Amino acid sequence: MLKALHQGGESDLSGTQAEPATTIGARRWYVVGLLCLINCFAYTDRIGLTVLMELIKHDLHLTDAQLGMVAGLAFALFNVILGLPLAWVADRYSRVKLITICLTLWTGMTALCGFARSFPQLFLARAGVGVGEAGCHPPAHSLIGDYFPREGRALGIGVFNAGAAAGVAGGMALIGLLGERYGWRASMQIVGAMGIPLALLTYFTLPEPPRPALHREQMEGLWRTVWTLVRRPAFINVALAVSISLIGSQGFSVWAPSFLMRSFHMGMGAAGAWIGGITAGSGILGTIVGGLLTLRLMPRNPRWDVWLPACSVALCVPTFVIMTMTHHIWVVLLMKALNSFFGASATSGGMAALQSFVEPRRRATGVAIAILLTSLLGTGGGPYLIGLASTALEPMLGQDSLRYALLLSPLMLVWALVHYMLAAHSAQKDRVT
């Protein structure tokens, strides 16, 4: 496979001309648009399962802790294990071919989730989704870093992350409706099969840009790259800030449909549609507005690439508390809209800021380190910790156990703010691009 990837990368390098760095032309917008669509499918397959959790719980007789493992830890485990090696491949070979292969894999494993008959089978199928998605974000961020100038990266990554918001919305709404009509198994099979045409479109139409000249002359081993980056204070603090904030936001997002069903007696389809629609609308708007603000503010002071996501995280804290403790459904939905807006802006801004502290030849590996932490802490740890807390509180609080378990989310955001402040302190010294 590496030989095929290498040959593809060489061909693309020799036959593709780079656009001027100061222009964001149609070709660049096509690339980021297609990557946005791929990200949409990735998050549909990643998060769409959450709206089916009540059906799965009763069908397979699972506890909340087991559901948290399936939704989070099963995905994150192999996503973490393979993230760095696949990023190392992306830094050296064809990123387009790598994305195509991994897209085919994770959509196929999503379909296999619908055939699971037990907790171990469902866990393994979800792990397969994590394996495939490990090869999505690092090469995608690396491509965006090559196509967009420094000031425009937050906008490019914002558009890319808009696909995540659309995927969460589409996943919850579409899978919720399919689940009500056809059952949870058929809904997973249908959604998984939808990714195959996109893999073909990616392979035949997504251009691979030339690598910078120094990229091929300064190759180094995986662990040397990792060691160099984790010793860079601004880089590691931004990576930790994004990851810790996602413990709260990802954990809440996974359990939000169940929260609405248990505490407000909302139907599965309605819960998926409301949460999905709000997440999409507010999340897409948040990523774009955050990118545009970064584009405007960074020429004044480069540290705005760290300050802006920090401000967004701070604004998320009260929305989480109000959303969890209120007994009015309209307040929950309003706070969810504000939370999704600021949360999406923070995540996109934080991931864009990482690239300021990473050389181009280490770009995919740097993103993979951050994704390793976000997968382990956010995607894996968040849902599991909240599910574990809910299970522990259930004997005392009954159906309200989940409501109080969700208060872990704002606590994680306060912790993340500390790391953003530490990153801002060393940003000028550690900035390399």
Reported as a single tens digit per residue, the pLDDT across 227-245 is 888 889 999 999 999 999 9
The residues, ordered by sequence, that sit 6+ positions from 379 with a Cβ below 8 Å of its Cβ are 46, 72, 75, 76, 79, 246, 250
* pLDDT of amino acid 317: 93
Half-sphere exposure (Cβ direction) of 179: Cα atoms closer than 13 Å: 26
* pLDDT of amino acid 38: 94
* pLDDT of amino acid 274: 81
* pLDDT of amino acid 338: 92
Reported as a single tens digit per residue, the pLDDT across 280-313 is 788 888 888 888 888 788 778 878 888 899 999 9
Judge contact between 54 and 261, C-beta under 8 A. Answer: yes
* pLDDT of amino acid 75: 82
Half-sphere exposure (Cβ direction) of 153: Cα atoms closer than 13 Å: 25
Q: In whole angstroms, give the CA distance from residue 179 to residue 52.
A: 7
Query: Closest Cα partner for 44 from 161, 175, 145, 160?
Result: 175
3-state helix, strand, coil in the chain (%, to 5): 85, 0, 15
Reported as a single tens digit per residue, the pLDDT across 181-191 is 898 899 999 99
* pLDDT of amino acid 1: 53
Judge contact between 62 and 119, C-beta under 8 A. Answer: yes
CA angle 16–22–24, rounded 5-degree value: 70
Q: In whole angstroms, give the CA distance from residue 80 to residue 133.
A: 10
The model's confidence at residue 27, banded by pLDDT at 50, 70 and 90, is confident
22 pLDDT above the threshold of 60: no
213 pLDDT above the threshold of 60: no
Q: State the amino acid at position 227 in one-letter form.
A: W
Q: In whole angstroms, give the CA distance from residue 303 to residue 424.
A: 6
Reported as a single tens digit per residue, the pLDDT across 87-109 is 888 888 889 999 999 999 999 99
* pLDDT of amino acid 5: 59
* pLDDT of amino acid 237: 93
66-70 own/partner pairs: CB under 8 Å, 24+ apart: 66/119, 67/387, 68/254, 68/383, 68/384, 68/385, 68/386, 68/387, 68/388, 69/123, 69/384, 69/387, 70/119, 70/122, 70/123, 70/126
Instruction: Name the burial class of residue 265, with classes exposed (0-12), middle (13-18) and buried (19+) by CB atoms within 10 angstroms of its CB.
Output: exposed
Q: What percent of the chain has pLDDT over 90?
A: 22
Mean pLDDT of the chain: 83
419 pLDDT above the threshold of 50: yes
Decide which of 276 and 148 is more confident.
148
The model's confidence at residue 2, banded by pLDDT at 50, 70 and 90, is low
* pLDDT of amino acid 4: 52
Judge contact between 403 and 321, C-beta under 8 A. Answer: no
Decide which of 220 and 63 is more confident.
63
34 pLDDT above the threshold of 90: yes
CA angle 362–368–370, rounded 5-degree value: 105
Q: What is this structure's pTM?
A: 0.70
56 pLDDT above the threshold of 80: yes
Looking at residue 129, the DSSP 8-state letter turns out to be H
Per-domain boundaries in the chain: 26-211+220-430
- Mean pLDDT (whole number) for 22-48: 83
Q: Could you give the angle at which helices 119-133 and 26-47 cross, rounded to 10 degrees?
A: 170
* pLDDT of amino acid 215: 47
346 pLDDT above the threshold of 80: yes
Classify domain 26-211+220-430 by CATH architecture: Up-down Bundle (1.20)
* pLDDT of amino acid 403: 85
Query: Closest Cα partner for 384 from 135, 126, 160, 187?
Result: 126
